[in-house]
Structure formats: structure tokens, C-alpha cells
Amino acid sequence: MINAAVLELPTGILLPESIVHTELFAVLAAFVAINTVMYGALAASKVLPKLYPSDWVSGRNRRSETRSIHPDAPA
């Protein structure tokens, strides 16, 4: 059941329709949309664990021989 007060609200109660259909309003809406997506991506990146590319790719930073005090340890 729809509330009777909702049906009595005039259209364009916040802004007139002539302003909503302008190019400036469309640019502002696009900026807000992009800003919202970027904020959501940054928030998601803060929640997810850090990924280190060096864990996936073996670099040249491995020693060819051990420097341990135990000479039989694997390299």
C-alpha cells in the first residue's frame, strides 16, 4: 500500500527539472560517479591483504651459497 503523502509530493521538489537536464549537471553527476567508484576501490584495497609481486616471481636476490654457520644447510 502506497502512502498518500508520497503521492501528493510535487515533482522536482529538490531541483527544478530544467536544472537537472543541463550539461553542467551531467558533468557533476559523472564526477560524483567516478569519485564514488574510486573511493570504493580504495576502501576495498585497504580491507584486502597486501599482495607482493616478489612472492610470485623469483628474483635474482637469492644467494648461490649458504652463509649459515651450518655448512650443510641447503642454499
Per residue, the 3-state secondary structure of the chain, as one string, reads: CCCHHHHCCCCCCCCCHHHHCCHHHHHHHHHHHHHHHHHHHHHHHHHCCCCCHHHCCCCCCCCCCCCCCCCCCCC
Q: What mean pLDDT do residues 62-72 have?
A: 72
What tens digit of pLDDT does each residue of 4-40 get?
A: 666 666 666 778 888 888 999 999 999 999 999 999 9
Each residue's pLDDT tens digit, 34-62: 999 999 999 999 998 888 877 777 666 66
Q: Is the pTM of this model over 0.85?
A: no
Confidence of residue 74 (pLDDT cuts 50, 70, 90): low
